[in-house]
Amino acid sequence: MADVAEKAGVSRALVSIVFRNQPGASEETRQRVLRVADEIGYRPDNAARLLARGRSRTIGVMFTVHQTFHTDLIEGIYPEAERLGYDVLLSAAAEGRSEAKAVEALLAHRCEALILLGSDAEAAYLDELGRRAVTVSVSRRVPQARVDFVHSAEGKGVRLAMDHLVELGHRRIVHIDGGRGPGSAERRRAYRAAMRRHGLESEARVIPGEHTEESGIETGRLLLAERDQGLPLPTAVLAGNDRCAMGVLMAMTRGGVEVPRDLSVVGYDDSHLSHLMPIGLTTVRQDARLMAEYAVRFAVERLEKPELEPREAVLDSKLVVRGTSGPAPEAAR
Amino acid sequence: MADVAEKAGVSRALVSIVFRNQPGASEETRQRVLRVADEIGYRPDNAARLLARGRSRTIGVMFTVHQTFHTDLIEGIYPEAERLGYDVLLSAAAEGRSEAKAVEALLAHRCEALILLGSDAEAAYLDELGRRAVTVSVSRRVPQARVDFVHSAEGKGVRLAMDHLVELGHRRIVHIDGGRGPGSAERRRAYRAAMRRHGLESEARVIPGEHTEESGIETGRLLLAERDQGLPLPTAVLAGNDRCAMGVLMAMTRGGVEVPRDLSVVGYDDSHLSHLMPIGLTTVRQDARLMAEYAVRFAVERLEKPELEPREAVLDSKLVVRGTSGPAPEAAR
DNA sequence: TACTCGCACTAGAGCGCGCTAGTAGAGCGC
DNA sequence: GCGCTCTACTAGCGCGCTCTAGTGCGAGTA
């Protein structure tokens, strides 16, 4: 920076002004400074900048590798953050790298706000985070914690899916839940309520699971094993999310069950995956773009008005009917 | 830091020593400092640290959102970087956020090394990056640029896939290439060579494409349209990567073509996707873990010995036969 | 003429650390 | 007693920037 200043015949302060795009420099000097900077390959050091400024204007995003819905969200976070003049730092949770570790990395980089995609942290930890930095939890709702929430209308999504299945004549509908995963509790509850509402209470069955393909495969195998022991196969499966649904599809198809003739499968997320199945996955659509925008906006607004109370955005869900859902087999109606 | 020092009754320097895990503090003092720090919620500021130290010990990783193979790689990068004492920063390229933009963000954060996952930048740009920072290109080989390369044996992978198809009796094998995507040139070349070697030169056909599902779908539709005009459908498709293969599968299945009875499809990457298809995608396996480890190691080694010349690692490829490849239809043999 | 104002620009403190050069004191051999 | 080494600790500079409080100057105003 000093080199640029000297070569352009101005002070360092002026160079700073130019690079911050602030008023206080004549157009002529501005151009000269930029030209000189370009010549000697100068670019401002973010770390020093951040340090001097006292503010980082950086939003940290924690996501989980392999969660395709998260990448959908990330895609929406970048442009909105940029529009509002914020930088984005990504940190992934993965096998061997816990969510807490990923978050620590973000905090060490002095992110002012955290956006947690599908966190499965405990309420106390979330609350602590929320007090340490502006925090937005996407997909996961933990009312006890001092954080903003952005999620879709889980209840509505499940209700739409269940109505669709019941309308197709299904009665033996099982739900594979997402364990402690984001949204799981709400979806489970909504499933039970829907079964009750349709008078299918006695058929209701929640199989514990996770938001992974493996979990779907496992559950698929379990159901096949039950069938081989003479128990009836369900005619429809409402999976905890798309990945789990894909796992179910895979296990079932391998086991000779034809979808959707013998079995209907409904996912949740409308992540990138849903389009991939040759026949298309029937799923509940969450508007990733909109969720991302809300998350960023919540964070920024609370950053700029710290006295604001955390808020909650519940975005609409829609059912997207594709190829994996069809009429229940006559025999099972 | 000053607060911690005061409360613990030591100097700032001593606190610094404790947090850097350096010798020069008694075990007793160390514990006391750490306890006090925890009490007042102090954690070192990465930016200041980086600034004072002059080195960031940070590796920047550029990846493309939705490229599932990239998330496989990221999962391998974290532990290896941690093992070697480096921090990792992620920056995603996405629609509306170019690769260059993602890289700039990393450089502004003073990453000492860049790992580019499947870059499709021009040679000149890569070379420039390579001179500005230690750069490792994964999957993409650009010998003219001063960067390290880590990729798998594309030639071998394609050869294995082609031998497999030919052995199954396929003759009309088309290749959808990946445009300027990483590895595409090598795969294309290897495809042509394999066709020649098997005396199928006259059947060789490369359809321009991309490494996306959309491209696969498009190509699938193209082939179906050709069929409807009376042209023969190929009996096998070697896609540019798994995503493209998924697209082909989807388009074809929708068009009433049964896989693998009427058509065999082979992908490339063995990314997470490959397991997802109900019948499993036959694909060429690249060892993501190993590639990630090599990438990090190359970066770190060159960071610590700047006089080192850039190197190249070519990792073995394997064919993973799953459900999407089968014997060619009798009529086409 | 004396003044105010706005514009272009500058001096220099300070952001939170790391690091070098140093000190103080204990232990040791001679 | 002296010098020596070793351990535990400290003073204070400087990393590359931002930002506040200025300075100097020409134009406009009373």
Q: Which regions of A98-197 does DSSP assign to beta strands (E)?
A: 113-117, 134-138, 148-152, 173-176
Instruction: Establish if A49 belongs to a structural domain.
Output: no
Residues 39-78 of B with CB under 7 A from strand C: 42-45, 48-49, 51-53
B59 and B11 share one domain: no
| Rounded average pLDDT over A83-110 | 91
- Domain of A220: which CATH number? 3.40.50.2300
- Domain total in chain A: 3
A98 and A203 share one domain: no
A120 and A222 share one domain: no
pLDDT at A201 (0 to 100): 95
Distance CA B174, CA A25 (A): 61
Instruction: Establish if A148 belongs to a structural domain.
Output: yes
pLDDT at A25 (0 to 100): 86
D7 closest protein residue (CA to C1'): B24
Q: Is the CB of A54 under 7 A from strand C?
A: yes
**Please, are residues B310 and B302 in contact by the beta-carbon 8 Å criterion?**
yes
Å: A29 CA to C2 C1': 32
Distance CA B38, CA A230 (A): 59
User: Tens digit of pLDDT for each residue in A97-148?
Assistant: 999 999 998 988 888 999 999 998 999 999 999 988 899 999 998 899 999 9
Helix (H) or strand (E) holding B283: strand B283-286
B88 and B194 share one domain: no
B62 and B126 share one domain: yes
| Rounded average pLDDT over A137-164 | 94
B159 and B238 share one domain: yes
User: Tens digit of pLDDT for each residue in A7-57?
Assistant: 888 889 999 999 988 888 889 989 999 999 988 888 888 888 888 888 888
Residue B22, domain extent: 2-44
pLDDT at B72 (0 to 100): 92
Instruction: Tell me: pLDDT of B168 over 90.
Output: yes
Judged by DSSP in three states, B134 sits in: strand
Judged by DSSP in three states, A174 sits in: strand
pLDDT band at B280 (very low <50, low <70, confident <90, very high): confident
Distance CA A144, CA A131 (A): 12
Residues 6+ apart with CB under 8 A from A175: A187, A188, A191, A204, A205, A206, A207, A237, A238, A239, A240
How many C-beta atoms lie closer than 10 Å to residue B181's C-beta? 24
| Interface subset of B 147-206, CB within 8 angstroms of A | none
Contact B278 A254 (CB under 8 A): yes
Q: Which residues of A touch B71 (CB under 8 A)?
A: 65-66, 71, 92
A327 and A183 share one domain: yes
pLDDT at A56 (0 to 100): 82
**Please, are residues A148 and A139 in contact by the beta-carbon 8 Å criterion?**
no
How many C-beta atoms lie closer than 10 Å to residue B201's C-beta? 10
Instruction: Tell me: pLDDT of B278 over 80.
Output: no
pLDDT: which is higher, A102 or A271: A102
B69 and B13 share one domain: no
Nucleotide with C1' nearest the B30 CA: D8
Helix (H) or strand (E) holding B154: helix B154-167
| Rounded average pLDDT over A292-309 | 92
**Please, are residues A8 and A29 in contact by the beta-carbon 8 Å criterion?**
yes
Instruction: Establish if A173 belongs to a structural domain.
Output: yes
pLDDT band at B169 (very low <50, low <70, confident <90, very high): very high
Instruction: Tell me: pLDDT of B213 over 90.
Output: no
Instruction: Tell me: pLDDT of A273 over 80.
Output: no
pLDDT at B90 (0 to 100): 95
pLDDT band at A275 (very low <50, low <70, confident <90, very high): confident
| Rounded average pLDDT over A66-81 | 93
CA dihedral sign of residues A287, A318, A137, A276:
negative
pLDDT at A271 (0 to 100): 85
User: Tens digit of pLDDT for each residue in B47-67?
Assistant: 888 888 888 889 999 999 988
**Please, are residues A128 and A199 in contact by the beta-carbon 8 Å criterion?**
no
Nearest to B8 by CA among B27, B42, B34, B26: B34
B160 and B116 share one domain: no
Residue A158 carries which side chain, given as an amino acid letter?
Answer: V
pLDDT at B25 (0 to 100): 86
| Rounded average pLDDT over B282-308 | 93
Instruction: Establish if A237 belongs to a structural domain.
Output: yes
Instruction: Tell me: pLDDT of A333 over 80.
Output: no
A278 and A261 share one domain: yes
Instruction: Establish if B293 belongs to a structural domain.
Output: yes
pLDDT at A45 (0 to 100): 86
Judged by DSSP in three states, B37 sits in: helix
CA dihedral sign of residues A139, B271, B266, A253:
negative
| Rounded average pLDDT over B90-118 | 92
- Domain of B13: which CATH number? 1.10.260.40
Instruction: Establish if A208 belongs to a structural domain.
Output: yes
pLDDT at A51 (0 to 100): 87
Instruction: Tell me: pLDDT of B229 over 90.
Output: yes
Q: Is the CB of A14 under 7 A from strand C?
A: yes
A210 and A274 share one domain: yes
Å: A6 CA to C9 C1': 14
pLDDT at A213 (0 to 100): 85
Instruction: Establish if B245 belongs to a structural domain.
Output: yes
Distance CA B327, CA B333 (A): 10
pLDDT averaged over chain B? Answer: 91
Instruction: Establish if A273 belongs to a structural domain.
Output: yes
pLDDT at B292 (0 to 100): 97
pLDDT band at B288 (very low <50, low <70, confident <90, very high): very high
* Range of lowest pLDDT (B117-131, B224-238, B239-253, B269-283): B269-283
A72 and A145 share one domain: yes
Token pair belonging to A183:
């949204």
Instruction: Tell me: pLDDT of A259 over 90.
Output: no
pLDDT at B261 (0 to 100): 93
